[in-house]
Structure 1
Amino acid sequence: MVFAGLSPVQAFLSSCNIVKNLKHLNRYLVIKMAEYMDIDGSVLEGGGQILRISISLSAILGIPVRVFNIRVGRSKPGLAAQHLKGLQLVAEMCQGKLKGASIGSTEIQFAPGKIRGGHYIADTHTAGSISLLLQIALPCALLADGPVTLDLKGGTNAEMAPQIDYMVTVLKPLLKKFHADFRLNIRRRGYFPKGGGHVTVEVSPVRSLRGVSIVERGDITAIRGSSFVAGILPVKLAQEMAEGAKEELKQFHHNVDIRCYKEDRTVAPDNCSGILVWAETDRDCVLCADELGKRGRDPRHLGRSAGATLAATLACKAALDTHAQDQVIVYMALAEGKSSVSVGDITLHTKTAMHIVELIAKIKFNVYEESGQNIIECTGLGLINKNLPPD
Structure 2
Amino acid sequence: MATEETPQTTNVLHIDGATLEGGGQLVRNAIAFSALLARPLSISNIRANRKQKGLKAQHAAGIKLVADICNAETKGVQQNSESVTFIPHTPKPGHYVADPGTAGSTTLLLQIAFPCLLFSPATPSETDSGESHLTLRGGTNAIAAPQIDYTIHVFFPFIRRHFNIDPHIYVKRRGYYPKGGGEVTVIVPHASGPLLALNLTSRGAVTAVRGRAYVAGSLPMRLVNLMVDAAKAQIISSGINKKLIDIEAVKEDESTAIGNGSGIILWAETEEGCIIAGSAIGVRGTNASLIGKEAAEDLVSNLAHGGCVDEYMQDQMIIFMALAKGKSTVATGPLSLHTKTAIWLAEKLTSAKFQTEEKPGTGRTIITCEGIGLESPSHAESN
State the TM-score, normalizing by the size of structure 1.
0.90
Mean Cα deviation higher: 254-263 or 375-384? 254-263
- In the alignment of these two chains, the number of paired residues is 360
Residue aligning to 2:40: 64
Q: Determine helix, strand or coil for the equivalent of 1:161.
A: coil
Matches within 5 A, 1:106-255: 106-145=82-121, 146-176=130-160, 177-206=162-191, 207-250=193-236, 251-255=239-243
RMSD (Å) for aligned C-alpha atoms: 1.6
Residue aligning to 1:326: 315
- In the TM superposition, residue 180 of structure 1 has moved relative to its aligned partner by 1.8
- In the TM superposition, residue 388 of structure 1 has moved relative to its aligned partner by 7.6
Residue aligning to 2:372: 381
Residue aligning to 1:270: 259
Per-residue displacement from partner, 1:3-47 (whole Å, max 9, x unpaired)? xxxxxxxxxxxxxxxxxxxxxxxxxx99x6340000000011110
Contact 1:223–1:253 (Cα < 8 Å) also in 2: no
Residue aligning to 2:126: none
Unaligned runs of 5+ in 1: 1-28
Matches within 5 A, 1:75-114: 75-114=51-90
Distance of 1:315 and 1:215 partners within structure 2: 15
Distance of 1:336 and 1:253 partners within structure 2: 40
Residue aligning to 2:125: none
- In the TM superposition, residue 370 of structure 1 has moved relative to its aligned partner by 4.0
Q: Determine helix, strand or coil for the equivalent of 2:197.
A: coil
Counterpart of 2:151 in structure 1: which amino acid? M
Distance of 2:242 and 2:136 partners within structure 1: 39
Distance of 1:158 and 1:77 partners within structure 2: 20
Contact 1:220–1:253 (Cα < 8 Å) also in 2: no
Residue aligning to 2:352: 363
Distance of 1:181 and 1:57 partners within structure 2: 21
Counterpart of 2:186 in structure 1: which amino acid? V
Distance of 2:166 and 2:31 partners within structure 1: 21
Contact 1:222–1:253 (Cα < 8 Å) also in 2: no
Q: Determine helix, strand or coil for the equivalent of 1:58.
A: helix
Mean Cα deviation higher: 362-371 or 100-109? 362-371
1:45 aligns with 2:21: yes
Q: Determine helix, strand or coil for the equivalent of 2:110.
A: helix
Per-residue displacement from partner, 1:308-345 (whole Å, max 9, x unpaired)? 11111112111100110000000000001111111111
Distance of 1:263 and 1:234 partners within structure 2: 11
- In the TM superposition, residue 182 of structure 1 has moved relative to its aligned partner by 0.8
Per-residue displacement from partner, 1:209-253 (whole Å, max 9, x unpaired)? 111111111111101111100111111101111111112211123
Contact 2:101–2:138 (Cα < 8 Å) also in 1: yes
Distance of 2:241 and 2:322 partners within structure 1: 35
Residue aligning to 2:3: none
Q: Determine helix, strand or coil for the equivalent of 1:243.
A: helix
Counterpart of 1:374 in structure 2: which amino acid? T
Per-residue displacement from partner, 1:179-218 (whole Å, max 9, x unpaired)? 2221100000111001000000001110221111111111
Change (3 A) 1:388 1:244: farther
Q: Determine helix, strand or coil for the equivalent of 1:189.
A: strand
Mean Cα deviation higher: 314-323 or 131-140? 314-323
- In the TM superposition, residue 282 of structure 1 has moved relative to its aligned partner by 1.3
Distance of 1:358 and 1:253 partners within structure 2: 42
Distance of 1:72 and 1:375 partners within structure 2: 30
- In the TM superposition, residue 386 of structure 1 has moved relative to its aligned partner by 3.7
Q: Determine helix, strand or coil for the equivalent of 1:266.
A: helix
Distance of 1:308 and 1:233 partners within structure 2: 24
Residue aligning to 1:13: none
